[in-house]
Structure 1
Amino acid sequence: MTPSVRSRLWASGTAFVLGFAAANYGIVRVARPDLWTWIVVAVVLMATGAAGILLADTRRPLSIWSILGVEVFLVLTILPMLWTFTVATAPAGEAPRSLWPRDVSWGAFDGAIHSEILRHAAGTSVLVAGIATIIAMPLAVMAAYALVRLPIRGRRAAYALVVATLLLPLVAVAGPLQDQLIQLGGYSSRLMLVPAALALTLPLAVWLCVTVFRDVPWSLRDAVRADGATRRQSLRLFVLPHLAPGVVVATLLVFVAGCNDFVLGAALSADDASRPFPATLLLASGQLDSPSSTVAAAGLLWVLPALLLLLVFPRRISHLLGRSYR
Structure 2
Amino acid sequence: MSTREKTLWIIAGILIIIYALFPIAWIISLSLKSSADISNGQFLPTALSWENYRSILVGDASELFLPALRNSFGICLIATAISSVLAMFAAYAIARIDFRGKKIILSTALAVAIFPVIAIATPLYNLWREVGLYDTWPGLILPYLSLTLPISIWTLSAFFREIPWEMEQAAQVDGATPWQAFRKVIVPLAAPGVFTTAIIAFFLAWNDFVYGITLTSTEASRPVPAALGLFSGASQFESPTGPIAAAALIVTIPVVVLVLIFQRRIVAGLTNGAVKG
1:88 equivalent to 2:31? Answer yes
Partner of 1:15: none
- Counterpart of 2:227 (choices 280, 284, 289) is 280
Partner of 1:113: 57
What SS class does the counterpart of residue 137 from structure 2 fall into? Answer: coil
More moved, 95-104 vs 110-119? 95-104
- Counterpart of 1:298 (choices 229, 247, 253) is 247
What SS class does the counterpart of residue 191 from structure 1 fall into? Answer: helix
Corresponding letter in the other structure for 2:72 = S
Q: 1:186 to 1:226 in 2, by over 3 A?
A: closer
- Give the superposition deviation at 1:139: 1.6
In structure 2, what is the Cα distance between the partners aligned to 1:324 and 1:179?
44
- Give the superposition deviation at 1:321: 5.5
Partner of 2:88: 141
What SS class does the counterpart of residue 229 from structure 2 fall into? Answer: helix
In structure 2, what is the Cα distance between the partners aligned to 1:146 and 1:237?
17
TM (norm. structure 1) is 0.69
1:79 equivalent to 2:22? Answer yes
In structure 1, what is the Cα distance between the partners aligned to 2:166 and 2:234?
58
More moved, 280-289 vs 228-237? 228-237
Q: How many residues were matched structurally?
A: 265
% identical aligned pairs: 33
Confirm or deny: 8 A CA contact 1:113 1:298 kept in the other structure. no
Residues 179-213 of structure 1, C-alpha deviations (whole Å, 9 max, x = no match): 21123243333332222222112113212322332
More moved, 209-218 vs 284-293? 284-293
- Counterpart of 2:256 (choices 291, 299, 307) is 307
Partner of 1:224: 171
In structure 2, what is the Cα distance between the partners aligned to 1:214 and 1:285?
50
In structure 2, what is the Cα distance between the partners aligned to 1:109 and 1:299?
11
In structure 2, what is the Cα distance between the partners aligned to 1:121 and 1:240?
34
More moved, 135-144 vs 181-190? 181-190
Partner of 1:177: 124
Partner of 1:209: 156
What SS class does the counterpart of residue 154 from structure 2 fall into? Answer: helix
Corresponding letter in the other structure for 1:304 = I
TM (norm. structure 2) is 0.80
- Counterpart of 2:98 (choices 148, 151, 162) is 151
- Give the superposition deviation at 1:273: 3.5
Confirm or deny: 8 A CA contact 1:272 1:284 kept in the other structure. no
- Give the superposition deviation at 1:319: 5.8
Residues 271-322 of structure 1, C-alpha deviations (whole Å, 9 max, x = no match): 3443211111112344899832221111111111211222233354356557
Residues 224-269 of structure 1, C-alpha deviations (whole Å, 9 max, x = no match): 3334458898579634641223213322331232122111111112
Confirm or deny: 8 A CA contact 2:67 2:220 kept in the other structure. yes
Q: 1:173 to 1:162 in 2, by over 3 A?
A: same
- Give the superposition deviation at 1:138: 2.1
Confirm or deny: 8 A CA contact 1:144 1:213 kept in the other structure. yes
- Give the superposition deviation at 1:166: 0.5
In structure 1, what is the Cα distance between the partners aligned to 2:165 and 2:239?
56
Larger radius of gyration: 1
What SS class does the counterpart of residue 110 from structure 1 fall into? Answer: helix
Point out where structure 1 has 5 or more consecutive residues left out of the alignment: 1-49, 56-63
Confirm or deny: 8 A CA contact 1:211 1:320 kept in the other structure. no
